[in-house]
Structure 1
Amino acid sequence: MKMAWWIFMSLLTIQIILIQYMVEEFLAGHTEDLFYYLLALGFMFVLTFITYLFFRKVDKVMDH
């Protein structure tokens, strides 16, 4: 499960960085780029959820 921990931490780090960029772009008045950051953030959330489901299944298989 150590591998899952590091993958989750890296995905969360990417999400935090994307949110930071979105806030900076918004405060700078560059709202035309926010849509692309929002798409990237949504993709990262979906990828994190799929990874969570994968490692949950792997954990169940390893227990049997």
Structure 2
Amino acid sequence: MRYVATLVWGVILGQVVGFLVSALSGGTYDPKMAGITSILFVIILFALPPIMKHFDSTATDKKAN
């Protein structure tokens, strides 16, 4: 359930950021591109903790004890 909530909030916040960036840069707002970009960032955030845990030397030391 936390993945669904994170995905929903990631898309909502991605749309807000996309709108603000387009407004401040003088470009046009493209909700499709902002949605795709925000979903990609959320997927990267889902994959980041297991990757970081894999390379954490202190986590393997604790398992050995």
Larger radius of gyration: 2
Greater RCO (CA < 8 Å, at least 6 residues apart) = 1
> Do the two structures share a fold, i.e. TM-score over 0.5?
no
If the TM-score is normalised by the length of the shorter chain, which range does it land in? 0.3 to 0.5
TM-score by length of 2: 0.44
TM-score by length of 1: 0.45
Is the helix fraction higher in 1 or 2?
1
